[in-house]
Amino acid sequence: MKLGKATREAFGLALAQLGETNPDIVVVDGDVGNSTRTELFGKKFPTRFFNVGIAESNLVSVAAGLASSGKRAWLASFAAFVMCNAYDQLRMSVAFPCLDVKVVGTHAGISIGEDGPSQMGIEDVGLACSLPNFTVIVPADEPSTFRAIEALNKMHTPAYLRAGRPNVPIVYEGDFEFQIGKANQLRAGSDLTIIAYGLMIGPALQAAEELAKTGVQARVLDMHTIKPLDHAAVLAAAKETGRIVVAEEHLLHGGLGSAVAMSVVRQHPVPMRFVGINDTFAESGKPDELLAKYGLTAADIVKAAKAF
């Protein structure tokens, strides 16, 4: 797989492109536009771009006010800042009235690297999923981020999109389908299923290749939409492969693993293993070293699979 742009960069490019044909779109940022890449939109459409400063609660309130007056609001900040600092505003000003506000949290997970634990969004997916009326999406690469932005633009309800800081491999090339709430099967397999999203899709595919060398054929699902979850894909994986490994760059509690486990228990219980951040904050360091230290590599997925 060749290396592509970071999903935060793809988000900025897609949003600026979207603004050309959608005059009602407005963008609000928390003084990190050069990092979230909303500055690309701001430079093209300065009268529709608002920097509210480092004040995430106000950020959400301004976006909600714009949405309630008929605008299509997109807001962006670091995942840890917007989801943790402004949760109450998201709950009461966006989720409760079910406004057309799209929330984008960038620099998510421990792969933000040297910036350290205060800026690492490791609970953002769980927090977003807990908000009624919210759709929650984590694209895997540059092409799927563009498709995710296009799909979210067709919705008029709240949503959270998670984006990362590092460049990630291109998973999707050529023509492909991206449908909110429908997982994409990236590899066929009948012995077990690896379900992942975002940054962990690359390691999931690498793990499947390693397992194939030992005669184990692993199905790989890109569960880009965590909410609403593709229960049909989960059921098929459980019935057809009998074992499931979930891999995510997120706390194990409240993330994709929790959602898949609930689906499996309700539909067709099978053995499961979970690769994620195990009830801890990470330290500051280089992204690859952090992913290795906290068990978020292809080798860790292989280990989980072999534990069956």
pLDDT of 28-52, one tens digit each?
A: 999 999 999 999 999 999 999 999 9
Which helix (H) or strand (E) element contains residue 101?
Answer: strand 101-106
- Mean predicted confidence (pLDDT) in 73-89: 97
Residue 299 lies in a domain: yes
From the candidates 9, 39, 56, 248, which is the catalytic residue? 56
Q: Say whether both 19 and 56 belong to one domain.
A: yes
Q: Say whether both 143 and 268 belong to one domain.
A: no
Q: What does the block give as tokens for 64?
A: 């909600």
What integer pLDDT is reported at residue 174 of this predicted model?
84
Q: Has 123 been annotated as catalytic?
A: no
Residue 167 lies in a domain: no
Maximum Cα interatomic distance, the chain, rounded to a whole number of Å: 59
pLDDT greater than 90 at residue 141: yes
Question: What percent of the chain lies above the pLDDT cut of 90?
Answer: 97
Total domains in the chain come to 2
Q: Say whether both 36 and 147 belong to one domain.
A: yes
What CATH number is attached to the domain comprising 118? 3.40.50.970
Angstrom distances, CA of residue 217 to CA of 7, 100, 188 = 29, 42, 8
- Mean predicted confidence (pLDDT) in 99-113: 97
Which of 272, 233, 282, 260 is CA-nearest to residue 129?
260
Q: Say whether both 202 and 140 belong to one domain.
A: no
At 169, is the pLDDT very low, low, confident or very high (cuts 50, 70, 90)?
Answer: very high
Residue 235 lies in a domain: yes
At 266, is the pLDDT very low, low, confident or very high (cuts 50, 70, 90)?
Answer: very high
Q: How far apart are CA 71 and CA 25, in angstroms?
A: 6
At 209, is the pLDDT very low, low, confident or very high (cuts 50, 70, 90)?
Answer: very high
Q: Say whether both 67 and 26 belong to one domain.
A: yes
- Mean predicted confidence (pLDDT) in 197-202: 97
Angstrom distances, CA of residue 17 to CA of 24, 63, 185, 268 = 13, 20, 28, 43
**Domain carrying residue 111:** 7-162
Q: Give a three-class secondary structure readout of 236-272.
A: HHHHHHCCEEEEEEEECCCCHHHHHHHHHHHHCCCCE
Residue 267 lies in a domain: yes
At 275, is the pLDDT very low, low, confident or very high (cuts 50, 70, 90)?
Answer: very high
Give the predicted TM-score (pTM) of the model. 0.96
Residue 168 lies in a domain: no
| Omega of the bond leading into 228 within 30 degrees of 0 (cis) | yes
Residue 225 lies in a domain: yes
Q: How far apart are CA 18 and CA 149, in angstroms?
A: 8
What integer pLDDT is reported at residue 1 of this predicted model?
78
Q: Say whether both 126 and 36 belong to one domain.
A: yes
Residue 178 lies in a domain: no
- Mean predicted confidence (pLDDT) in 58-76: 97
